[in-house]
Amino acid sequence: MKKNVLILLMTLFLFFLLGCQNDQNDGRIEMTNGSFYFASNLYDSKEINDGDILNIAYRNNYGHLYKEDGEEIAFIPEAIVPITAISQELMDMIISDYFDLVMKDEYFKDYELEISDIKLSVYCGVYNGYYALRFQDNKALVGILGGENIGGQRFIYPAMGGNTVILWKQN
């Protein structure tokens, strides 16, 4: 029970942090190496398009696509494109920024979270220079099943590593 409350608090914190930044800065949270964004903000501002959202949803959902109502799409469109690998150096920069973002929450300053606890759950590719990713922040935590709708696609967030997809762009 404590673990579920912990992950809920962390998820709410990230939504709050990104949401507060949204009013002042188009949803951008600037970190040391790059900035984080909500996928929905980038889609609304046309920084990423329908094809990008389709590909991000496909990878986030581990090779499945769902309509906004949650119904699975039976066939995979030809618009799904292969993704390029991400270098370890760049991944280390992104994880460092994500760790710093998580540690902005007062609760986690007292929690024994280390950068090695930050794991990539899903790498969804690069779209217009934005790296789409979903993290699992601590291997001991369990999440809450959830999802969101963006551009006609349903993003499913599993119980383990259930943080939302966020996008990062290098400064």
Q: Is the pLDDT of residue 81 over 90?
A: yes
Asked if residue 102 lies in contact with residue 117, where contact means CB atoms within 8 angstroms, the answer is no
Residue 71's contacts (CB-CB under 8 Å, 6 or more residues apart) are none
Q: Are 103 and 113 contacting, i.e. CB atoms less than 8 angstroms apart?
A: yes
Between 163 and 108, residue with greater pLDDT: 163
pLDDT exceeds 70 at position 13: no
The torsion angle over the Cα atoms of residues 13, 15, 17 and 23, rounded to 10 degrees, is -150
Q: What is the pLDDT of residue 103?
A: 86
pTM above 0.85, yes or no: no
AA identity, residue 163: N
Average pLDDT over the chain reads 82
Tokens of 72: 């699975």
**Tokens 């119980």 sit on residue:** 159
pLDDT in tens, 17-42: 444 444 445 789 999 999 999 999 99
Give the domain ranges of the chain: 2-170
